[in-house]
A and B are shown apart, each in its own frame.
With several copies, the nearest count.
Chain A
Amino acid sequence: MSAVHTHEADDLRELYRELILDHARSPRHFGKLDAATHTARGINPLCGDRLQLFLQLDQAERIAAASFEGSGCAISVASASLLTDSVIGMSATEALELFTAFTAQLCDQQDVAVVIPRLGKLQALSGVREFPARVKCATLAWHALESAISQRSATATTE
């Protein structure tokens, strides 16, 4: 019984790692990006999380700048913050690859994760895997990223 408790508490600490809490409290690249060339909204209709992601792609389709606005839980805000941190400097294609790798990791499709290079500090979000109800929070900004780049839809949802 106490083993269970400890294990469970560990899960929670895995989810709310210091890095996550830090990004949730002080999100990086927060705010509107006036020079944005691509943007998309992300809405999780079931919990009310909503954010808008801004990207500035240069002529070489490289992400020169990225930012986001909105409100959400610690996981979705930290994930958006880490996202912007990670994709700045990447090509659009690389960012889409990262999207694939990241979402695959959270959905436990290990085979994909193996193919893709390390996720760096995005690994901090891997604790979400133990919380399937929260995977949508962690991927919300990422779906917006994918929408923004492919300009498929103005609003991504994670239902």
Chain B
Amino acid sequence: MRQAQVEQQGRGRIEDRRTDFPALQQMIHGHSLVYLDSAASSQMPGSVIETIARYQRNDHANVHRGVHTLSHRATDAYEGARDKVRNFVNAASRSEVIFTSGTTESINLVAQSYCRPLLRAGDSVLISHLEHHSNIVPWQLLCEQTAAELRVVPIDEQGQLDMPALARMFDEKVRMVAVAHVSNALGTINPVREIIALARQRDVPVLLDGAQGVPHMAIDVQELDCDFYAFSGHKMYAPTGVGVLYGRESLLDAMPPYQGGGDMILEVSFTGTTYNELPYKFEAGTPNISGVIGLGAAIDYLQSIGMLAIARHEKALLAYLMDELQKISGIRLIGTAPHKASVQSFMLDNIHPHDLGTILDHQGIAIRTGHHCAMPVMQHFAVPGTARASLGLYNNRDDIDRLVAALHQAKQIFS
């Protein structure tokens, strides 16, 4: 009922939300900005920017450390944001919400603190071919350190995981599974429930790289039943430099700390140090306070619209984007899985993506070009890189029409 109401409101207003974003009100090379690079970093609504500035002007102090008023205000705001995150992803407890500097650190934390003490030579870690480098390299480093094996689930021509191969590769050597919830290069939404069900049978934990999941759909970590869920603020309308590791309490409890420092200890002495309880055990040092508070403000903003409304809006827009792109002769869509989030990679004729990027930028259109930190995906599709348009809640059909027009111009230049 309350959900439905929020949805209702969301539906009415989502097209107008782009005015909430100061960055989208500017001209680039004489054209109003069309921002189609939200999968790299989304823009921030004014409410997030202003919440951060207000904190910095009025309430800034170190957290957890002082009895004075500013310190108390800062701590309340910081811990309040943790409650918002807990609620946003429906973690069972606030102890399960660890603030990190981003998805990358979240994944490294799990690799080093959970896996490294556990892995024996010959054990293996299962990832997939469509991962972001942040969900590849930490595991490569770990496997080097432990002489474990990295197993890579292949993908098909549409950019989907080869699930039968995954099942075959999933033997008793596998001690950890780490896959993207949503691929940043291809948009593929992976069948994570199926993967988690398989892993449950073998009692192997699953980490989901949720960097591209959280911005596009309602996430419920308990319903997903994943063990770890990693995401970044800057893909969900908050600043860079802040992210979250959700972890199942029983696992986090058993893990040694990742970094040592202030705040993560109960008592320090040279004869022995006692670590603090969750979530502080994993938050060594002064955290990114304004980033965390900004993340909380972004969650407030997203919830005021409703994640279902956002998902619906983006789904319709993605369909329009794919349709319109396919009308262009010489286009090749890369990433054509039936289940996709609002990301579309493509090639146009034999124009190098980088040249496309420049020509589009000249029309005020920001897309991302290159390997999208997913070189193995590029190798799979035998391309040096792609052009990628990715959508946020603030995009509309007009943005896509502008993109398509500019692609026609690029064809002309290179004809």
Distance in angstroms between the alpha carbons of A125 and B280 in the assembled complex: 29
Q: A5-B30, A132-B72 are in contact. Are A46 and B414 (CB under 8 A)?
A: no
Contacts of B50 in A (CB 8 A): none
Q: In the bound complex, do residue B72 and residue A133 qualify as a contact, i.e. CB atoms below 8 Å apart? A: yes
* Chain A proximity mask over B164-204: 1 for CB below 8 Å, otherwise 0: 00000000000000000000000000000000000000000
Q: In the bound complex, do residue A159 and residue B352 qualify as a contact, i.e. CB atoms below 8 Å apart? A: no
Q: Is A157 an interface residue (CB 8 A)?
A: yes
Partner of B375, one of A48, A77, A131, A137: A48
* Chain B proximity mask over A123-148: 1 for CB below 8 Å, otherwise 0: 00000000111100100000000000
Beyond A47-B385, A74-B355, A157-B266, 20 additional pairs, beta carbon < 8 A? A8-B362, A9-B362, A16-B414, A46-B65, A47-B371, A48-B370, A50-B267, A72-B354, A73-B352, A74-B414, A75-B354, A75-B355, A133-B69, A133-B71, A133-B358, A133-B361, A137-B354, A155-B274, A157-B276, A159-B277
Distance in angstroms between the alpha carbons of A73 and B387 in the assembled complex: 12
Contacts of B308 in A (CB 8 A): none
Q: Is A117 an interface residue (CB 8 A)?
A: no
Distance in angstroms between the alpha carbons of A48 and B371 in the assembled complex: 6
State the main secondary structure of chain B at its contact with A.
mixed
Partner of A1, one of B30, B265, B358: B30
Contacts of A12 in B (CB 8 A): 358-359, 362, 413
Distance in angstroms between the alpha carbons of A71 and B350 in the assembled complex: 12
**How many chain-B residues does the 8 Å CB contact rule pick out?**
36
- On A, residues with C-beta under 8 Å from B are 1, 4-5, 7-9, 11-12, 15-16, 21, 43, 45-50, 71-77, 131-134, 137, 155, 157, 159
A to B CB contacts below 8 Å, 8 in the list: A11-B362, A45-B265, A45-B266, A46-B64, A49-B384, A155-B266, A155-B274, A159-B64
Contacts of B408 in A (CB 8 A): none
Q: In the bound complex, do residue B370 and residue A131 qualify as a contact, i.e. CB atoms below 8 Å apart? A: no
Q: B389 → chain A, closest Cβ, in Å?
A: 17
Distance in angstroms between the alpha carbons of A7 and B31 in the assembled complex: 13
* Chain A proximity mask over B39-71: 1 for CB below 8 Å, otherwise 0: 000000000000000000000000011111101
Q: A51 → chain B, closest Cβ, in Å?
A: 11
Contacts of A7 in B (CB 8 A): 30
Q: Is B397 an interface residue (CB 8 A)?
A: no
Contacts of B369 in A (CB 8 A): 47
Partner of B280, one of A1, A75, A76, A159: A159
Distance in angstroms between the alpha carbons of A76 and B30 in the assembled complex: 27
Q: In the bound complex, do residue A46 and residue B30 qualify as a contact, i.e. CB atoms below 8 Å apart? A: no
Q: Is B378 an interface residue (CB 8 A)?
A: yes
Distance in angstroms between the alpha carbons of A159 and B281 in the assembled complex: 12
Distance in angstroms between the alpha carbons of A107 and B234 in the assembled complex: 32
Contacts of A15 in B (CB 8 A): 358
Q: In the bound complex, do residue B414 and residue A21 qualify as a contact, i.e. CB atoms below 8 Å apart? A: yes
Q: A5-B30, A157-B277 are in contact. Are A43 and B266 (CB under 8 A)?
A: yes
Instruction: Choose among A1, A16, A73 the residue with the greatest number of B CB atoms under 10 Å from its CB.
Output: A73
Contacts of B353 in A (CB 8 A): 47, 73
Contacts of B274 in A (CB 8 A): 155
Q: In the bound complex, do residue A72 and residue B414 qualify as a contact, i.e. CB atoms below 8 Å apart? A: no
Distance in angstroms between the alpha carbons of A47 and B71 in the assembled complex: 13
Q: A81 → chain B, closest Cβ, in Å?
A: 14
- Which residues between 334 and 366 of chain B lie within 8 Å of chain A, taking CB atoms? 351-355, 358-359, 361-362
Distance in angstroms between the alpha carbons of A71 and B68 in the assembled complex: 21
Q: In the bound complex, do residue B358 and residue A4 qualify as a contact, i.e. CB atoms below 8 Å apart? A: no
Contacts of A43 in B (CB 8 A): 266-267
Partner of A48, one of B64, B76, B358, B378: B378
Q: A18 → chain B, closest Cβ, in Å?
A: 11
Q: In the bound complex, do residue B276 and residue A159 qualify as a contact, i.e. CB atoms below 8 Å apart? A: yes
Q: Is B332 an interface residue (CB 8 A)?
A: no
Q: In the bound complex, do residue A16 and residue B413 qualify as a contact, i.e. CB atoms below 8 Å apart? A: yes
Q: In the bound complex, do residue A8 and residue B29 qualify as a contact, i.e. CB atoms below 8 Å apart? A: yes
Give B72's nearest chain A residue, CB to CB: A133
Distance in angstroms between the alpha carbons of A95 and B338 in the assembled complex: 53
Partner of B67, one of A16, A21, A133, A155: A133
Give A1's nearest chain B residue, CB to CB: B30
Contacts of B352 in A (CB 8 A): 71-74, 77
Instruction: Choose among A11, A46, A47, A71 the residue with the greatest number of B CB atoms under 10 Å from its CB.
Output: A46
Q: A43-B266, A46-B370 are in contact. Are A4 and B30 (CB under 8 A)?
A: yes
Contacts of A8 in B (CB 8 A): 29-30, 362
Contacts of A45 in B (CB 8 A): 265-267, 276
Give B276's nearest chain A residue, CB to CB: A45
Contacts of A132 in B (CB 8 A): 72, 76
Contacts of A71 in B (CB 8 A): 352, 384
Distance in angstroms between the alpha carbons of A93 and B276 in the assembled complex: 29
Q: In the bound complex, do residue B358 and residue A134 qualify as a contact, i.e. CB atoms below 8 Å apart? A: yes
Contacts of A155 in B (CB 8 A): 266, 274
